[in-house]
Amino acid sequence: MNNKEILSDLLQRSRAYAKLKIRRRIDTALHGQHPKAAVVCCSDSRVIPEEIFARSIGDIFVIRTAGNTAGVSEVESLSYAHHHLGIELFIVLGHTHCGAVDSTIHGEHCSIFDAIASHIGEEKDPKKATMENARQVAKELSSRFPEVDVVPLLYDIETGEVSRL
């Protein structure tokens, strides 16, 4: 598929989605969103928080970056989630086989990889590094939002299991 075909396919799928009269979509459009938790997770296409936690439209406020990092934009988004939407639970969801963590371990540099590097130190084991990265992001968010519960979790992309860190 070339890009034109891919876009056409996506738009066709979106039209099918729009035809579904999903009650939740209509209700949240009319009455606003009241998500109960914010999730900071990786942009990895295999990590889909709504599916992982069996939630739907309006349930979770999701922030996605490569390597579930939290820079200025992400922190400001979380500030909005807390102060405007009343969310008092932030989840930092690391995942196994994270490409951003692997790239960091292999010495690649960009602002995201450098942030991950500062979290994982000399750790070379991908899973341990992923766990430490999620823990450190949660720790940073806890210091910025001391009134919020910030919980680091690990998602296994193979088994679908989520564990506490």
Rounded distance, CA 56 to CA 105, Å?
A: 34
131 binds Zn ion (CB under 5 A): no
116 binds Zn ion (CB under 5 A): no
Interface with Zn ion, residue 123, by CB under 5 A: no
Shortest approach of Zn ion to residue 68 CB, angstroms?
7
Tokens, residue 122: 């000399």
- Integer Cα distance of 155 and 76 in angstroms: 25
By CB under 5 A, residue 93 contacts Zn ion: no
Binding mask 25-54 for Zn ion (x = CB under 5 A): -----------------x-x----------
Here the tokens at position 144 are 């910025």
- Give the nearest distance from C-beta 129 to Zn ion in angstroms: 11
In sequence order, what E strands does 20-164 have?
A: 37-42, 60-65, 89-95, 149-155, 162-164
Residue 119 has which token pair? 């979290």
CB of 5 to Zn ion, least distance (A): 27
Taking the C-alpha atoms of residue 4 and residue 57, their distance in angstroms, rounded to an integer, is 29
Interface size with Zn ion, residues (CB under 5 A): 4
Does 132 help bind Zn ion (rule: CB under 5 A)? no
Closest approach of Zn ion to the CB of residue 71, in Å: 15
Measured CA angle at 72 (ends 69, 74), to 5 deg:
55
Contact pick of 98, 105, 138, 141 for Zn ion (by CB under 5 A): 98
The contact set with Zn ion (CB under 5 A) reads 42, 44, 98, 100
